[in-house]
């Protein structure tokens, strides 16, 4: 059985169609909900002082929370998704160049923290799923 998923990303103006095998029956909105939390650390140490550039050293932590609900019952099932990310600068002290890995603050230096959030609405009819909002499609490399 082939399940069709139509994806619409806000602001991109393009629709992506993904095909994947799925034999699952329509999910329950709450009991089939799932949330995942991912954490990543970043440490960068570049010593370019021999080429008259400053030392670059940064350390940070990132968190990514993803939530996907199931679908409501009925001919057309509705659901939601959300994604939230938080980046925290742990260290990029004085005397070190720190503008490559973190988002800049209003003064041009690395921001102490930064975050983003996105919401997705989804609907399912028969074996076709439509998503609109913030998407993270997995594309082959």
Task: Express each pLDDT in 3-43 by its tens digit.
Answer: 444 444 444 333 333 333 343 444 577 888 999 999 999 88
Q: Is residue 12 part of a domain?
A: yes
Beta bridge partners of 88: 61, 113
Within-domain flag for 141: no
> What percentage of the chain carries pLDDT values higher than 90?
33
Q: pLDDT tens digits, residue range 94-119?
A: 655 555 567 777 777 777 888 999 99
Q: Give a yes or no: residue 93 inside a domain.
A: yes
pLDDT given at position 93:
63
Q: Are 118 and 77 in contact (CB under 8 A)?
A: no
> Is residue 138 included in any domain, yes or no?
no
- State the residue range of the domain holding 116: 2-133
**Structural domain includes residue 139:** no
pLDDT of residue 15: 39
First to last CA, the chain: 25
Q: What's the domain count of the chain?
A: 1
Q: Is a pLDDT exceeding 90 seen at residue 68?
A: yes
Residue 100 domain-assigned? yes
- The beta strands (E) that lie in 69-137 are given as 76-91, 113-125, 128-133
Residue 127 to residues 7, 25, 76, Cα–Cα distance (Å): 14, 9, 10
Cα dihedral 65, 33, 80, 130, rounded to 10, equals 110
- Does some domain include residue 18? yes
């Amino acid at each position: 059985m082939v399940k069709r998923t139509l994806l619409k990303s806000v602001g991109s103006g393009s629709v992506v169609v993904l095909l994947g095998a799925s034999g699952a029956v329509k999910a329950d909105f709450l009991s089939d909900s799932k949330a995942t939390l991912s954490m990543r650390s970043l440490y960068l140490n570049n010593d370019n002082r021999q080429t008259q550039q400053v030392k670059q050293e940064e350390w940070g932590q990132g968190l990514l929370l993803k939530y996907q609900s199931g679908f409501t019952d009925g001919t057309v099932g509705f659901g939601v998704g959300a994604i939230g990310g938080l980046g925290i600068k742990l260290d990029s002290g004085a005397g070190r160049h720190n503008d490559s890995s973190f988002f800049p603050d209003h003064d041009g230096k690395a921001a102490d923290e930064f975050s983003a959030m996105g919401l997705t609405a989804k609907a399912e009819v028969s074996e076709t799923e439509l998503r609109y909002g913030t998407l993270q499609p997995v594309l082959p490399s």
